[in-house]
Amino acid sequence: MNREEARLELDATTLRPQDASPEARAMAGSDPELGAWLKKRTEFDQQVADAFAASLPAGLRESILQNSRKPVRRPIRWVLPALAAAAAAVVLSWTMFWPVSNSMPGWQAESLAAVTKVEYGMLKVDHMSRDFEAIKKMLVTDQSPTPLRLPGTVGSMPVLACKCIKVAGRKASIICFEIEPGKEAHLVVVENTGLTGLPPQLQPQFKTSKNWNMASWSDGSQTFLLATTADEAALKKLFGLA
């Protein structure tokens, strides 16, 4: 089995890894590039599955089972086409709006994936507060990193909430701010020892992916990603660049 054959098999079984052959699973474990791809693909498929499950009306499963026991099949003819259409809509939606790309460093891809889930309500925040110092104390209590220093006016935005996550197997934090009325900006803070593909020290790098604008930078032992669906000018203004 070569890498492409293993990839195709793993791609078909991301949410049922036990169905993949031992050879394909072993190749994913020994091939870092294939393993990294499988991790991202599995996370994406799980997010689509979760979004699809959340979109189903309450009691639909019970209704299907109840109707399936009846001799007359006409009432449930709509079910499979409707479910297929709903699934296709969810997949299409995530394909259009999912901003993570294979060109991103691993830590950045994981950070943006978590931020996207928070933005669209697929991942609940841990704490809510309008007091930045209170938010930082909550993160300290949760043993998650807090920013030691923030550039420009990043730390002056109204704060909303925070979330503890993991990036590259280590604890990280998301702090949610209001960058402008009706628009949020999410700051990921991660300890960068041992991470690869880091942005330069104290020099923000700007990037756009789908409808997201991002700034990333490092400061000592911490690395940051600030991501928002607000326009690029609003983001750069925080750093005194617009």
Tell me the per-residue pLDDT of 126-174, one tens digit each, with 9 for 90 and over: 999 999 999 999 999 999 999 999 999 999 999 999 999 999 999 999 9
In this predicted structure, which of 6-20, 182-196, 225-239 has the lowest mean pLDDT? 6-20
User: Boundaries of CATH 3.40.1000 in the chain?
Assistant: 106-237
Other Cβ atoms within 10 Å of 34 Cβ, number: 18
Average pLDDT over every residue of 77-81: 48
pLDDT value of position 50: 65
| Whole-prediction pTM | 0.66
What kind of fold does domain 106-237 have according to CATH?
Answer: Protein Transport Mog1p; Chain A (3.40.1000)
Residue 7 above 50 pLDDT? yes
End-to-end CA, the chain: 53
pLDDT tens-digit map of 91-102: 445 556 788 888
pLDDT-based confidence at 58, cuts 50/70/90? low
**Nearest alpha carbon to residue 235 among 220, 214, 208, 204:** 214
Residue 73 above 50 pLDDT? no
Block residue for tokens 């990333």: 216
Q: What percent of the chain has pLDDT over 90?
A: 52
Q: What would the 3-class secondary structure string for 127-155 be?
A: EECCCHHHHHHHHHHCCCCCCCCCCCCHH
pLDDT value of position 3: 76
Q: What percent of the chain has pLDDT over 70?
A: 77
**Nearest alpha carbon to residue 227 among 200, 206, 196:** 206
Query: With contact defined as beta carbons under 8 Å apart, do 208 and 232 qualify?
Result: yes
